Amino acid sequence: MKKIKQLFAGAMLTTFGLPIAQADYALNLMEGVTKVSNDIYDLHMLILWICVFIGIAVFGTIFYSIYHHRKSKGHEAAHFHEHTTVEIIWTIIPTIILVAMAIPATKTMLELDDVQESEMSIKVTGKQWYWDYQYLDSGVHFESHLDEISEKSHRGHTIDPHTVPNYLLSVDRPLVIPINKKIRFVFTSADVIHSWWVPDLGWKKDANPGFINEAWTSVPTPGVYRGQCTELCGRDHGFMPIVVIAMNQGDYDNWVKTTLEKQNAKPDLSDQSHEQLMANGSSVYLKNCVACHQIDGKGVVGNYPALRGSAKVTGGVDPLIGFLQAGTSKMPSFAKLKDNELAAVITYIRNSPDIGNKVGDEIQPKAITPVYDDDE
């Protein structure tokens, strides 16, 4: 009953154009924070009220005619074949209405696609199942994965999702942008069709393999804005959220400087304790391996092999290192990982109680043959 009341209240608020809270059972579009999102909302409300007016006029005429010209009052149906004047009128009036609606709609659509005079560009690549961000002007480049606590909660079922802040809507590395700057986005995909959507920005854009799509935004106020992939891109489609953090220009410049310093720094190849290797290896595993091999290492029968009890995993270290760096037709190369990350994840999959292996060794970074990606 409570839900029915909420739905009814939401419908009434929407019908009369009153503000409605962005909560469960909200029935109207959200306004967003950008000019584009506000223009889309205004266009939506304009078309809505035009349709409401037309509906009232048409159905009002129908109901009036049915009630006042009913047979019980002695009326008889008229017999006529055509009426040229009426036909002209009901052709001209809808045409005028459609043209009147098309003018603001076309203006808004042109505004959405106007990426000219952009002040910076970001390439967004959708991958199964995370986002890759490359700042084409500054050189910042990183991957954005679902945050660890949400990953563990939905896969391990040992953490109550209700205790996780922004469950399935947080990432390990958010996209950071400056406010009051026109930012051009370039979208593509490395595998299947994805779709990048942050409701507060007011639009969504598909990321298609082999194609480039464009969009832009300019966020006026600092804040954290969340979104999701909105294309059914595979089994883990629901686990690739988007987080955008808008900062003042000074804070953004400091973030770029710090990020580039970390990005260009050589990895720490010093020996690590067993606890450090296992902790770092768990993080790397959750970002790169868990989608296929599962949190318990059992894999998916017929699709992805189990790591638990695998001779390849628990056997010789050097062949395992070479296998992970080379990859296969089904598994991407892990050469993108730095030596300390690769050493940590190998230690983890060979010794994690969660996966069920216990070789009892530690793979240190110096045991990895350096193989670096040019973009790293």
Q: What is the pLDDT of residues 129-170, one digit of tens each?
A: 999 999 999 999 999 999 999 998 988 777 899 999 999 999
Q: What is the pLDDT of residues 193-242, one digit of tens each?
A: 999 999 999 999 999 999 999 999 999 999 999 999 999 999 899 999 99
The 10 Å Cβ neighbour count of residue 37 is 21
What is the arithmetic mean of pLDDT over 6-16?
Answer: 57
**SS3 for 243?**
strand
172 domain-assigned: yes
* Together in a domain, 128 and 244: yes
* Together in a domain, 281 and 160: no
pLDDT band at 336 (very low <50, low <70, confident <90, very high): confident
* Together in a domain, 125 and 260: yes
Boundary of a domain, candidates 264, 291, 316: 264
* Together in a domain, 175 and 240: yes
Residue 174 predicted with pLDDT over 50: yes
20 domain-assigned: no
Q: From the CA atom positions of the chain, what is the Rg in Å?
A: 28
* Tally of domains within the chain: 3
Tokens 């040019």 correspond to what residue?
A: 374
* Together in a domain, 347 and 324: yes
* Together in a domain, 85 and 180: no
What pLDDT, on a 0 to 100 scale, did the predictor assign at position 221? Answer: 96
CATH number assigned to the domain comprising residue 258: 2.60.40.420
What pLDDT, on a 0 to 100 scale, did the predictor assign at position 13? Answer: 53
24 domain-assigned: no
127 domain-assigned: yes
13 domain-assigned: no
1 domain-assigned: no
Domain extent, residue 336, equals 274-367
Residues 228-242 as b or e (16 or more Cβ within 10 Å = b): bbbbebeebbebbbb
Residue 148 region by backbone torsions, left for phi larger than 0, else alpha for psi between -120 and 50, else beta:
alpha
Residue type, 67: Y
Cβ atoms of 351 and 357 closer than 8 Å: yes
360 domain-assigned: yes
Boundary of a domain, candidates 61, 84, 112: 112
* Together in a domain, 185 and 124: yes
CATH number assigned to the domain comprising residue 52: 1.10.287.90
* Together in a domain, 196 and 96: no
Q: CA 357, 367, 328 angle in degrees (round to 5)?
A: 65
Q: Model's pTM, two decimal places?
A: 0.82
* Together in a domain, 101 and 164: no
* Together in a domain, 239 and 255: yes
Binning the chain into helix, strand and coil, the percentages to the nearest 5 are: 45, 15, 40
Residue 93 predicted with pLDDT over 80: yes
* Together in a domain, 162 and 204: yes
